[in-house]
Amino acid sequence: MGPRYNIGQKVRVTPVKEQQLSTREAGLEPYAGQVGEVTDFYFMSSSKGKTFYVYTVRMERDKKDVVLHEDELDLFIP
The Cα–Cα gap between 26 and 7 comes to 26
Read off the pLDDT of each residue in 62-73 and give the average, rounded to a whole number: 93
The Cα–Cα gap between 78 and 38 comes to 16
What's 8's DSSP letter?
Answer: T
Radius of gyration of the chain (CA): 13
Chain segment 8-42, per-residue pLDDT in tens? 999 999 865 655 555 555 577 889 899 999 999 99
The Cα–Cα gap between 58 and 78 comes to 17
Domains of the chain: 10-75 (2.30.30)
Task: Give the three-class secondary structure for 28.
Answer: helix
| Overall pTM surpassing 0.85 (yes/no) | no
Residue pair 59/31 in contact (Cβ under 8 Å)? The answer is yes
